[in-house]
Structure 1
């Protein structure tokens, strides 16, 4: 049987293991009597070998080769498509297959839920009789788009990276086996004992992150983990740009530059990256291809997921070998555990446990390899049958049984930074989202929460007299990703902000709570940074504020003042450099940061302060902040995480004076109440406003007087010119001009 193979969609550059995968695909098809020809320019550099012409170069058929009887679209080594243009070549082939009545099969398709061209995928999937998805996450997306398709399943393309089974060695006369032409005598054994043992090979297969964390943050974590592995194994480090693009190569170089000076490191180019990966003893990776290469080499794989898609794709590869949930989110390495360890402590423990469990892990991989090969063989049998026009068979079950042989610390590092399969009975954070007549803002706010790196939360949506159908429609497409972490409270009549907050707080039993009015944009790391601050054993704050920017949605009807100035009674003092605390003095001076920004605090404070005052309306949040600061302290985090080079600018004395002033103010309010400071603040604001108005009036009067003076000056100049024209000298000048005829 003769078929045409169309690679794609692919990204820029050459990927690690790509050549091995394509050649393995040809071998698997040839074993099943299928003559495959690669068509398209993408295939030429992959299959080209020194001194030989790639098959089907330029898309022309070899002499005497009949026309293709079926089409195979393979996404080996390719990225998940992000726009319709990347799928246009495949859609053209699908249209050709439909017009000519030839079978079409898709294999190795990755679908990222966050960057999915849905319409193009909806048109592509029904055209194929059998569709092999790269991982379980891609399979879930495909089933959502085409629920009636009978041929959707996870393919086994990563098994192509496995080395071919070695041929059986001929038995010797004594019943043992030996290699052809190899003789082992006493001298050989002595030489083997004298030869130095090569140090373990550590490969870091990395790609430049595209998620919520900046590349330099991931680079520091990877360098720390590599240093920990080198310290415990004495190995050498080879850095591989798994993605193959220039940005990935630069990122690998950045990681290499952060390693200690005594660490031997090599930057592998595209031509040697494949060989380095399949001979590794340890593989630290941030991409699914690095994980697949490491497992094929029976190496200990330490996968770090910078974003949700990398976590899902690497978990899919590990799950096929029985290593379920082995990926550590980058978020877990930044603020892991219950006591907010630092990154160094986390990577040191992970490296220590990985070394201790290395033998068990390698044994588990050896035991799982036959099942992986058998499952891959079933997949290629089904693919060959579909190319011949046979209907797809039922999807097989998982190949390897789950094995708990990884480092135990991985479970702790993952606990609150991956979406749970079922909502916890008592989450760490309850988010009370007060909603009323703004479905667009509600959807955006929920999307912000779903993008959070910290996932141990419960969302309580309080529908404060809005349209229940609008709330349900906004949440419906997000129900699957919310994974049961949402509770909706509908109220027919508006309750007000304070009452809505109190109802929402009673609907959860978490340790920490935060109010959300869908008016601000929450960065992906906001909850993670806030929770880590309150869990730091060296921090005594009971609340923390993280400033955010406002969400701009068409139709909100909210406009800033035209002149950009706030009202006199809401003047906010300029932000002090290095400010780490929100003080009672700040709030009395008009600082509304805790009201307008996410304010995460311990639920237990309500046992001391009581609920939000439902008689105050929109001022209830501000009044609760005043009561909070009278008794407890509130930390203030910068809007963006500080960089590695950020440091204080010598303002410790200023911060100390502010702390002393606020301490005495809180002591006074504890004894006498906050009424007098509030009255004085209001009186001072009114006096300041009156003073500003008087100064403005004086300035306007001065400008008027200046205009009068300028007008008088111009009049005096005109009079002086007139007098000069009527003098004696002027008479003779006029006479002289008349004599000259002018």
Structure 2
């Protein structure tokens, strides 16, 4: 049987494991009597009966006899092979054209290793492409969930086993050092600049993918470098920092630049990346393909997920090896919370425990290999059968029992940065979302909560008069992502904001509270940064305001929320206000007799008794030094502290009434002054226009008088004579 194979990386820069994976795929098919022909780089192509060679391919739209305008393809089936990166829309469109051509001629279509990006998927193209295939092997759980939503009745949607292609050949187990040396024969001077060749491959290999989530590469680079630094000092040897793909080279270089000078590094020769990953003792990576390569080589993989989607994809690979929940979200390393004092303490602890559990991990991986190999064999049997037109029985999704052999610190770091299987009875943050009857805004607000890097929250949606069916429908569409962390309170009559907030607060328990209206906009690290600030052992504030944008570097830094500023009309504290629930025991509830001013009135009472901090801009990177303030800024800050101290003392003895009245009176007088100034400016403009008009009239009169003089008479006469 002869088939065509189209790879999603045809004609592109090879990425980690691409060439080796395709070679082994062809070997798997050849062992089952399937002759596979790789398409040439460029647009997807199908071989036709007019071809005489097995190496050539013709475009699916080539003119030929027949009703469809195409010659019947000589290939008996079409295999579409994905990569570790989600397929882009242009690629999927080309695949769909090839699949249509195969289906029109009754040729079976199989997809294997397909990764789908749930955040940007062309639904119509995907739906038709999936329907054209009799067997679809999805690379991870997010891709499988998306495919199931698009084609719920498809009987052939399964998690594929392409990762088993990286398992070493049992008939030949090469020495890792020899394999590494063979990958770079006759290394030229400078290929290994910082250690002698006889030292063998590096003990620590980092394979890095540029972050595309809420955390910028500039923030991620020093954190990953700190992890590498901590690990290489516990696993003596060299470290190699490699990009997952060619476009990740700049990010890998940025991470390497943050490593201390005493860390010995290896610069691999071209084509040696796969061998280095397979021979390493420890692999630090943000790339799912590197996770598969490292585990197949028996390495202890320290995986870091740059966002929620990347974490889920890496978890899917680890799950197959019985090592589920061994990936740490990058956000957890930036603000580890109760798992460690700070980033440096977290990576030091993780590195120590990884080295300590190295033998146990290696043993667990060795025990898992036979079952994985058997599952992979069954998968490729099913692929060959489907390409032949049969109905295969794919292997089960799980064949390896979970093993708890990883670093215990990983569980602590993950606890509040991944969606929990069972929501805790008392989450860290309660998010009270007030719905006002605008379904589109409510949907955006829910998505903003779901995008948060910090996941230990409970959402209470208080329907203050909206259509209950619309609210329930919007929540039901996000039921899987909410994972039992949401509740809704319906009210048939409209409620003022204060009453809505109180009902949401009483609906559950939590350590911290934040109110959100359905029109508010949040960026993904709001809760992460607020919780990190309030849980800092040195923090004395009972609330924190997270600004919605990073301030302009040229503008003065905004001041922290204060009673002085609030009485003076300062609106700096207009971001997300996260505070400790315990303050309600002192301050009481929100005032339900007020409408639009309920939140402002509560903040006044809060600032009268407690203090609130301010979080602005992105979190500071590791090793960043806090710059000193200038003299005028220090003086301004100290003066504000003195005023705040005396104002609190006065209000504690006499109440807040007089400052509140004076603050409003000052604002009223200031507004009146502005109105008078605006009137004065308007009057000045009118006077200026009158002066300009008078000046123009005077100039005209002067010209008229000059024309009527004696000299003017002779000039007119002379012009008249010349005119004759």
Q: Give the TM-score of the pair, scaled to structure 2.
A: 0.88
- 2:91 matched residue in structure 1: 86
Larger CA deviation: 119-128 vs 603-612: 119-128
- The alignment partner of 2:242 has SS state of strand
Pairwise CA distance, 1:346: 0.9
- The alignment partner of 2:153 has SS state of coil
Contact 2:375 2:395 survives alignment (8 Å):
no
1:67 to 74, 93, 102: 74
Contact 1:436 1:463 survives alignment (8 Å):
yes
Deviations 1:90-111 (A, max 9, x none): 2223223322222222111112
- 1:701 matched residue in structure 2: 683
Contact 1:3 1:70 survives alignment (8 Å):
yes
- 1:185 matched residue in structure 2: none
- The alignment partner of 1:225 has SS state of helix
Supply the distance in 1 between the matched residues of 2:686 and 2:309 (Cα, whole angstroms).
Answer: 66
Supply the distance in 2 between the matched residues of 1:590 and 1:542 (Cα, whole angstroms).
Answer: 22
Residue 350 (structure 1) aligned with residue 315 (structure 2): no
- 2:641 matched residue in structure 1: 659
**Closer, same or farther: CA 412–482 of 1 in aligned 2, 3 Å:** same
2:143 to 109, 119, 138: 138
Q: Give the TM-score of the pair, scaled to structure 1.
A: 0.86
Deviations 1:627-648 (A, max 9, x none): 0000000111115445758845
Residue 578 (structure 1) aligned with residue 583 (structure 2): no
**Closer, same or farther: CA 726–333 of 1 in aligned 2, 3 Å:** same
Gaps of 5+ in 2: 45-52, 60-72, 175-196
2:568 to 570, 589, 610: 589
Supply the distance in 2 between the matched residues of 1:7 and 1:576 (Cα, whole angstroms).
Answer: 51
**Closer, same or farther: CA 231–11 of 1 in aligned 2, 3 Å:** farther
Deviations 1:539-570 (A, max 9, x none): 111111112279xxxxxxxxxxxxxxxxxxxx
Contact 1:205 1:286 survives alignment (8 Å):
yes
Supply the distance in 1 between the matched residues of 2:710 and 2:43 (Cα, whole angstroms).
Answer: 102
- 2:184 matched residue in structure 1: none
Residue 404 (structure 1) aligned with residue 404 (structure 2): yes
1:103 to 92, 96, 108: 108
Pairwise CA distance, 1:153: 1.3
- 1:213 matched residue in structure 2: 215
- 1:572 matched residue in structure 2: none
Contact 2:37 2:55 survives alignment (8 Å):
no
- 2:699 matched residue in structure 1: 717
Supply the distance in 1 between the matched residues of 2:58 and 2:593 (Cα, whole angstroms).
Answer: 80
**Closer, same or farther: CA 715–579 of 1 in aligned 2, 3 Å:** closer
Larger CA deviation: 685-694 vs 715-724: 715-724
Supply the distance in 1 between the matched residues of 2:706 and 2:173 (Cα, whole angstroms).
Answer: 123
**Closer, same or farther: CA 220–740 of 1 in aligned 2, 3 Å:** same
1:615 to 593, 607, 611: 593
**Closer, same or farther: CA 123–96 of 1 in aligned 2, 3 Å:** same
Residue 598 (structure 1) aligned with residue 567 (structure 2): no
Q: How does 1:18-37 map to 2 (within 5 A)?
A: 18-37=18-37
Residue 125 (structure 1) aligned with residue 130 (structure 2): yes
Larger CA deviation: 402-411 vs 270-279: 270-279
Question: How many residues get paired?
Answer: 675
- The alignment partner of 1:72 has SS state of strand
Contact 1:580 1:635 survives alignment (8 Å):
no
**Closer, same or farther: CA 735–420 of 1 in aligned 2, 3 Å:** same
Gaps of 5+ in 1: 45-54, 170-194, 551-574
Pairwise CA distance, 1:70: 2.1
Supply the distance in 1 between the matched residues of 2:209 and 2:502 (Cα, whole angstroms).
Answer: 46
Q: How does 1:336-735 map to 2 (within 5 A)?
A: 336-338=336-338, 341-393=341-393, 395-548=395-548, 577-579=556-558, 581-594=560-573, 596-641=574-619, 647=627, 649-650=629-630, 651-730=633-712
CA RMSD of the aligned region, Å? 2.7
Residue 3 (structure 1) aligned with residue 3 (structure 2): yes
**Closer, same or farther: CA 16–741 of 1 in aligned 2, 3 Å:** closer
Supply the distance in 1 between the matched residues of 2:352 and 2:122 (Cα, whole angstroms).
Answer: 43
**Closer, same or farther: CA 58–591 of 1 in aligned 2, 3 Å:** farther
Pairwise CA distance, 1:86: 1.9
